[in-house]
């Protein structure tokens, strides 16, 4: 069974302190992945924005999360496995939450074959200060906020997309798209890549998946690609 969101294009650093929110309107005015003007084709809008809506995630990561200083959201779309959204909210006291969504549930793994039910996954778990600090340190080490948004694959980010370096572009007919958004009260950034390639997208996304698995031990993640 293919992933319904993918459509036909797929078959130790110092960590900045957590400040109290400035103006809540500054985040609301930022251009984000699903801003109306940013996705040039319907196929990419279906991939990203429909998934957010169906999994009850706001288009703007901080929307409805007034207690969060920062949000990091990982969109994981695989060709032959359930779509997953994992988000980490960094709260003002230094703790956080990890929210896990999936449109379907893997009920068992039989070698390379997955048994999947239509039951969605929706959970929110607490993160302690150490877990939040370790994750934010990784974000700082990877220099997330200053990275280009695209590395090897045209992710359909519209005006938020950066040019793919010459000679680094790839075309895939099957695989996974990894997208990571970050938002604070004053800035927004996103990065994305094909899921099997090493680099900052893989490193941050995998860390979020490991936290999600740790906080949801009965959740079957399935193949990571």
Query: For the segment 45-56, what is each residue's pLDDT rounded down to a tens digit?
Result: 678 889 999 999
Of the candidates 88, 96, 100, the residue with the CA atom closest to the CA atom of residue 180: 88
More confident residue, 8 or 111: 111
Query: For the segment 174-217, what is each residue's pLDDT rounded down to a tens digit?
Result: 689 999 999 999 999 999 999 889 999 999 999 999 999 999 99
In sign, the C-alpha dihedral spanning 7, 89, 101, 62 is negative
> How sure is the predictor about 3, in pLDDT bands with cuts at 50, 70 and 90?
low
Query: For the segment 62-87, what is each residue's pLDDT rounded down to a tens digit?
Result: 999 999 999 999 999 998 899 999 99
Helices 200-215, 129-141: inter-axial angle, 10-degree rounding: 170
pLDDT exceeds 70 at position 11: no
21 vs 148: CA distance, rounded Å: 26
The pLDDT of 82-96, averaged and rounded, is 97
- Taken as a whole, the chain contains a residue count of 225
In Å, the largest CA–CA distance within the chain is 51
100 vs 84: CA distance, rounded Å: 7
């Amino acid at each position: 069974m293919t992933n319904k969101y993918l459509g036909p294009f797929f078959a130790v650093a110092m960590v900045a302190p957590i400040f109290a929110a400035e103006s809540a309107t500054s985040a609301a005015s930022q251009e984000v992945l699903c801003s109306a003007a940013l996705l040039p084709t319907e196929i990419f809008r279906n991939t990203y924005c429909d998934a957010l809506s169906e999994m009850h995630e706001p288009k703007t990561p901080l929307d409805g999360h007034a207690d969060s200083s920062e949000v990091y959201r990982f969109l994981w779309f695989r060709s032959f496995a359930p779509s997953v959204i994992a988000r980490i909210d960094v709260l003002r006291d230094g703790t956080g939450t990890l929210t896990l969504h999936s449109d379907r549930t893997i009920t068992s793994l039989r070698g390379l074959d997955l048994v999947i039910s239509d039951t969605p996954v929706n959970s929110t778990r607490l993160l302690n200060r150490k877990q939040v600090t370790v994750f934010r340190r990784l974000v700082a080490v990877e220099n997330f906020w200053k990275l280009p948004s695209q590395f090897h694959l045209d992710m359909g980010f519209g005006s938020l997309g950066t040019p793919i370096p010459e000679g680094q572009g790839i075309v895939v007919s099957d695989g996974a798209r990894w997208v990571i958004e970050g938002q604070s009260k004053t800035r927004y950034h996103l990065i994305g890549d094909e899921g099997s390639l090493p680099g900052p997208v893989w490193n941050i996304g995998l860390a979020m998946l490991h936290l999600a698995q740790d906080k949801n031990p009965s959740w079957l993640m399935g193949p990571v690609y």
